[in-house]
A and B are shown apart, each in its own frame.
Chain A
Amino acid sequence: MSAINPTLAAAPPRSLPANAFAAIAKHRVLATVLFFAIFPWLMPYQSLAINILIYGLFAVGFNLLFGYTGLLSFGHAAFLGVGAYTAGILIAQYQMPWWAAVPAAIVAGCVVALVMGLLAIRTRGIYFAMVTLALSQCVYFLIYQLPASGGENGLRGVNVAEVSLFGLKLNLLDPLQKYYFVFAFVALALWLLSRILASPFGGAIEAVRENEARARACGFDIERTKLLAFVLSAAFCALAGALNAIHLSSVPIETLHYATSGMVVMLCLLGGMGTYFGPFVGAALFLLIQDLASGWTEHWQLLVGAVFVFVVLFFPNGVWGTLLQKVSHDR
């Protein structure tokens, strides 16, 4: 190693924060999970903490595609929505238990993503955003017309009052216990994400992002890699959707709306695309801004748009990404 990069051996001793940071980065799953274990006490109220967790997970799924694979999708509302509606309909109308409804939601999300992905990856470059947007609108209209979905009024009565697993009982009517129910799924998802990113496939998707032509020349099957990244990304988003349906006890039709697809792009960019923890930072910032701003004006979306334009112009790496960059510069 030192023969290739002699300056590495002669590097000055690291500063203390940089050292601590490197240690945290090494155990990113553990650090993130520990942080979220105490997170409810850092928030003004617990339902906000749950929202941040769920939308953070949504953004994590999106980030796998946008941040790590370099594909900008404007149709991820479809996966959140399909996940939410599948879990919601199974629980509310077929009285299925939550432990069957949540995996079913993930499978449904993957199937929709497979169909959308097969169409969308036939296009190249910037077309991708347009085609995914159009296809997610198609999903919106289809679910809107589905009799079981409740159409304009959304789906009601997704009631899961109590969950029990291996003798452990959680009362979901208590916000804190509900938080830890969601937390368990998010922790699992984060571990899985870390494994995906550390796997050879994780290297392949970053190769596609950095230079598609070169990755193809290296012998990677670009189309299959993209499609798999698309489906995996949708799986995380569908899980977030299913959790949100249980959290809200309902599924509003806005879940599938174009604005939701846009929101997740904002979350990801605000936090820092292509970073492990950034999506949660983005979700927390977005929801806090929304929470504060909607208190004093009904036109909080103007502020959200302005913040977004500002971030695109001046902080393309997002809040967390910029922070990471600063720390690594200090080294």
Chain B
Amino acid sequence: MWLPNWPILRLHRSGAASADQPAATVLTERGQRRLACVCPLAAAAGLRVGQALAEARALVPELDVHEATPEEDAAALARLAEWATRFTPLAAADPPEGLWLDIAGCGHLYGGEAALCATIARRLGETGFLARLAVADASGAAWALARYVGGQTRVLLAGEERAALEALPIGLLRLDDRSVAALRRVGIRSIGALARLPRAEVAARFGPLPGLRLEQALGAAEEPIAWPMPTPPWEETQRFAEPIAAPEDLARTLALLAEALGRRLEGQALGARRFVARFLRVDGAVPMIGIATARPVREAGYVLKLLAAKLETVDPGFGVEAVALEAQALGPLAAAQAEMGGRADAGADLAATLDALIARLGEEAIWRPTALGSHVPERAVGRAPPLTSVGWPAQLPDRPLRLFTPPEPIEATAAVPDDPPLFFRWRGRLHRVRTAAGPERIAAEWWRRSPDASRPAHDFIRDYYRVEDQQGGRFWVFRVGLVGVPRWFVHGVFG
């Protein structure tokens, strides 16, 4: 996509210059004021880029002259590239006057690639920008066609590059001025003429650039385009002129980053439940440490205390070039106010203690048991984050204090098949049952797994007994197999 005279267009849009007056921007080059960009009106009056300002003033006395601002133009172009991400996720600025849009797979959303280009041009036109677009498989072909004067939006199919570029002037190949002049001098004026020359001789005489640009235009070479990747928004990075390795330096850097991140989070009344610090080493390795907290935090000292415990695991190797601290799992966190007397509330105490435990054991290792309401013992308990409040019924059927997963098979002997066992052998010990209660029949949840040939329906039914042996041990045993030989298991022990 080409935005001809982008700096002037910006001036028009901002109202600093009017569209019906010749305008130009000037840049001071080696002490001389020279035109950097001219509008079509001025160009029609005979002005061109690179002309001295005094000469231009003499030719067009009413010329509206503005100081060139290349940095601002580039920044505005980058913003326009961001705007263009609504059409395709891959949009990059191509300074000074263009944008790259990778619209592979995006065309059908607008009814074809030509329609997509028309939409973009129309939307830009509505905001006052003139845009020329071209679509091609090869980046160089799209660039040349978009800038081909008098061209309209062209959509090239794969393999058409050669024919489309045949007659185009050599200046559209993105060569430097010297190469163009040198090529012109030997009579090569069109891209087709250059393409017909032996590649090795062109390279020997004009350097590698013409050959590379030609290949990029014809689709034979890939062009590396720096697509801007969305940076994680809640990240602070510190880069160093010289690699650092001392643990104290790393800790101090983390402190600075945590403070900066904390200030940003505070501005949005946010906190984060996870912080990840990445250490970009000179040899390319990226050791990471992370902490998780029970509730959103942002206080730098607090984050730092948890991170510091893990900092010693970071191997700086030959040095660390950059340190990045990222906040994840954001959540609202109102501005905190210490209570009168300076005592934090009990909830904060609990959260702080839990955070210390999470830092030690890991986020998955701390939980609150929740009742899931399933009668199958293995599925009766769930895990909830430790700061959630859970509810438990006050009365439950008698369940063991220790539950073995999976149940442990035992050798048991019962008087009649429906009775609790008389004795059983578990873990090499013989237990004689003195008293028993049951059975409590628990069937598997039928909606989870349907019986089949390998596991018939009666295999899902368990008859549980609470038994006490002669030593007083209380066990939860069950029998599977209403048909055939029963199998016995110990599922738990009562306290």
A associates with B? no
